[in-house]
Structure 1
Amino acid sequence: MKNIVIGSGPAGRLGSLELGKLGEEVTLIEKNHIAGTCLNEGCMVICALTDITKFIDENNRFNNHGFLKSQIDISYDKIVEKITETQVMLRKLNQMENESVGNNVIYGEASIEGDTVVVGNESFEYDNLLIATGARPFIPDVKGSEFGLTNKDILKLDEVPEKLNIIGGGIIACEIANIYSTLGSEVNVLARSKFLKELGENTRRYVLEKIIPDVNVLENTGVSEVFENKILTDNNEELEGVPFFATGRTPNSEIAEGFVELNDDRTIKVNEMMQTNLSNVYAAGDVTGGYQLTPVARKEGITAARNMAGYGNKMTYDCIPQTLSLNMEVSFVENEKVSLSDDEKATISFPGIGGPGAFWKILDGETGYTEIDFDKNRNRLNKINHISPSSVSDVAYLSYLMRMDYDLDDYGEFIEIHPSTDTNYKIIKNMWL
């Protein structure tokens, strides 16, 4: 059967790769660069820059302790150059990976005309179609919004802005604030409501006080006008600095308009098999809304691919772990299907463990923080907020326990690697088993 995948971000790339592995005929169509927002404008760019800010943060800490004397000269244009070089290498690898399973990768802007996809002067018929066109930064309807930067512009900057005004109060806003504050910018963050409302209050406070202490956060503050090098708040306060929008994302669903059913927010409507209202048309990734996370998009793409190939598969969204890429990672997960009463819930909290990546933070009292809610009657994890150098892997493993509804006693045979900052041992064994 002929399968066409439009979009090569995490959902489309993994979906087409899965189809190829299953022996299906696949044409993968990409408008710009393979691997989508994640590699080219999003997660990988943030991670690359955060690797540098972590180094700067550690260098400053070692200097303050007095056993290292060094001065760092930052070349932002060289950073951008090397990120771009790395992206080119990864694009080649991603294309080779898809072609290695027999997939045909072509570049150009696609349009859908019934049972045919048109790219330039070529037409491609399909039996099954997967739309994985992703999303783009949402720009609010504010006067002067054309002057605002987004994550798409990070690699277009010539230098680190002297002053930066970040409009938005979520994860992306925090990550951008951390990067440019560490690189030397004076950073304001303007949140319409509460900053980092995804986190528990104690975790949020730790981020503000210990990880991004130099960032000026203005909550319950909107923007009435944007200029090239300043903004005007809804309180008529002028703040100098380059404006940067981190105000969410909007789906690239125009290609599907009038073809398949859309939700009210213009995302593509799908069922648990990632199937649209047309039985042979599927959609996956950010264009479908929901959790706009790379691992979720990958799983959605694979789910769609398996169904396209005739292998029944359903997508679930239980206990999805998330993280903030900062100078110390902040990870969190919650079992949203369970609501515990005060009698059922127990909460524990403790400082981070001083292992690798955190040993030299002990002197400053900045080894991290963990707070966990659990069902004390059923002995199940319910919610985790975790700050540590190992929080990404810790919370990923613990979210699996939550998703599979394991009793915590089932984790008793876990053996961690030492030395590490892996808090699984402390969370699971020392606290209540």
Structure 2
Amino acid sequence: MRNIVIGSGPAGRLGSLELGKLGEEVTLIEKKHIAGTCLNEGCMVVCALTDITKFIDANSRFNNYGFIKSQLEISYEKIVAKITETQEKLRHLNQLENESFGNNIIYGEASIEDNGVTVNGESFEYDNLLIATGARPFIPNVKGSEYGLTNKDILKLDDVPEKLNIIGGGIIATEIANIYSTLGSQVNILARSTILKELGETTKKYVLENIIPDVNIHENTNVSEVFKDKVLTDDGEELEGTAFFATGRVPNSEIAEGLVELNDDRTIKVNEMMKTNVENIYAAGDVTGGYQLTPVARMEGITAARNMAGYANKVSYSCIPQTLSLNTEVSFVENEKSECNEDDKATIGIPGIAGPSAFWKILSGDTGYTEVEFDKKNNKINRINSISPSSTSDVAYLSYLMRMDYDLDDYGDFLEIHPSTDSNYKIIKNMWL
């Protein structure tokens, strides 16, 4: 069967790979760069810059301890050049990987007409279509918004901004604040309501006081106007510096308008098989809304591909692990389906454990913090907030146990590797079981 995939971000790229593995005929159409926002403008760029800020943070710590004396000279221009060079290598590898399964990749802007897709003046018919066109930064209707930056502009900057006003209070806003604060910017976060609603209060407090202590937080603050070198808030306060919008994302669903049903927020409406209201048209990734995370987009793309190839498959969104890429990672997961009442909840929180990347933080008392909420009645995990160098993998594995609905007694046979910075095993094995 002829399958066309529009968009090569995590959803489209993994969907194409899955179709190719299943022996299906695939044409993958990409407007600009393979691998989408994640590699080219999003999380991979943030992670690359955060690797550098972790090094700066460690260097500062060791200098303060007195056993290393070094003065760093940071070239933002060269950092950008090396990120770009790495992106080019990864794009090449991603293309080779897709082509190794016989998939045809075409670069150009696609349009959907009748029962075909047109790109670069050439039309292609399809039996199944997967729309994985992603999303773009949302720019609020604020006077002067054209002066504001977004994640698309990170690699276009000539140097680190002297002063930066980040508009937004979520994960992206916090990650950007951490990067540029560590690189030397004076940073303000301007949150319309409160910052980091995704985290528990104790975890949030730790992040603000120990990981981004130099960032000025302005909660319940609206921006009324943006200028080239300052922003004006609703209460008349002027804050000098460049504006950076981290105010959410909007779907690139224009290609599907009038073709399939859209939700009220203009995301493409799909069922648990990633199928639209049109029998042979599927959608996956950020264009469908929901969790705008690379692993979720991959999962959705693979689910769509299997259904396109005739293998019935459904997607599940329970216990999705998430993280903030900061100088110390902050990861969290919650069982949204838990019916545990307040009387049956128990929470244990402890400081982080000394181990890889945490030993030298003991002297300053910022090894991290982990908090686990339990369902006492059913002996399950309800929620985890974990701040540690290993939290991204720790919480990912624990989210699997939560998703599979394991009883916590099954965790008793878990054998950790020493040394470890994972406080979860200590809480679960030594304090709970």
Question: Smaller-chain TM-score range?
Answer: over 0.9
1:87-142 alpha-carbon deviations (Å, 9 max, x no partner): 00000000000000000001000000021000021000000000000000000000
Q: Are the counterparts in 2 of residues 15 and 301 from structure 1 also a CA contact under 8 Å?
A: yes
Counterpart code for 2:186: E
Secondary structure (helix, strand or coil) at the match of 1:312 reads coil
1:221-266 alpha-carbon deviations (Å, 9 max, x no partner): 0000001110000111100000000000000000000000000000
In 1, Cα distance between equivalents of 2:214 and 2:395: 27
Describe how 1:280-429 pairs up with structure 2 within 5 A.
Answer: 280-429=280-429
Structure 1: 5+ residue stretches without partners: none
Deviates more, 1:413-422 or 1:248-257: 413-422
In 2, Cα distance between equivalents of 1:388 and 1:38: 23
In 2, Cα distance between equivalents of 1:342 and 1:26: 51
Cα offset for 1:184? 0.1
Structure 1 residue 30 corresponds to structure 2 residue 40: no
Counterpart code for 2:414: F
Q: Are the counterparts in 2 of residues 162 and 186 from structure 1 also a CA contact under 8 Å?
A: yes
Q: Are the counterparts in 1 of residues 371 and 385 from structure 2 also a CA contact under 8 Å?
A: yes
Q: Are the counterparts in 2 of residues 19 and 306 from structure 1 also a CA contact under 8 Å?
A: yes
Cα offset for 1:343? 1.4
In 2, Cα distance between equivalents of 1:333 and 1:247: 22
Secondary structure (helix, strand or coil) at the match of 2:298 reads helix
Cα offset for 1:425? 2.4
Q: Are the counterparts in 1 of residues 372 and 424 from structure 2 also a CA contact under 8 Å?
A: no
Secondary structure (helix, strand or coil) at the match of 2:413 reads coil
Secondary structure (helix, strand or coil) at the match of 1:206 reads helix
1:124-183 alpha-carbon deviations (Å, 9 max, x no partner): 000000000000000000000000000000000000000000000000000000000000
Q: Are the counterparts in 2 of residues 7 and 31 from structure 1 also a CA contact under 8 Å?
A: yes
1:62-103 alpha-carbon deviations (Å, 9 max, x no partner): 011111100000000000000000000000000000000000
Secondary structure (helix, strand or coil) at the match of 2:363 reads helix
Cα offset for 1:417? 1.4
Cα offset for 1:306? 0.2
1:183-229 alpha-carbon deviations (Å, 9 max, x no partner): 00000000000010110000000000000000000000000000111
2:8 maps to 8
Equivalent pairs counted in the alignment come to 433
Counterpart code for 1:111: S
Structure 2: 5+ residue stretches without partners: none
In 1, Cα distance between equivalents of 2:91 and 2:173: 27
Structure 1 residue 18 corresponds to structure 2 residue 18: yes
Q: Are the counterparts in 2 of residues 416 and 424 from structure 1 also a CA contact under 8 Å?
A: no
Describe how 1:64-213 pairs up with structure 2 within 5 A.
Answer: 64-213=64-213
1:315-363 alpha-carbon deviations (Å, 9 max, x no partner): 0100000000000000000011114222111111000001111000000
Q: Are the counterparts in 1 of residues 56 and 182 from structure 2 also a CA contact under 8 Å?
A: yes
Secondary structure (helix, strand or coil) at the match of 2:389 reads coil
Secondary structure (helix, strand or coil) at the match of 2:361 reads helix
Secondary structure (helix, strand or coil) at the match of 1:343 reads helix
1:299-322 alpha-carbon deviations (Å, 9 max, x no partner): 000000000000000001000000
> Over aligned residue pairs, what C-alpha RMSD do you find?
0.6
Cα offset for 1:422? 2.4
Counterpart code for 1:78: K
Q: Are the counterparts in 1 of residues 11 and 297 from structure 2 also a CA contact under 8 Å?
A: yes
Cα offset for 1:377? 1.2
Cα offset for 1:418? 1.3
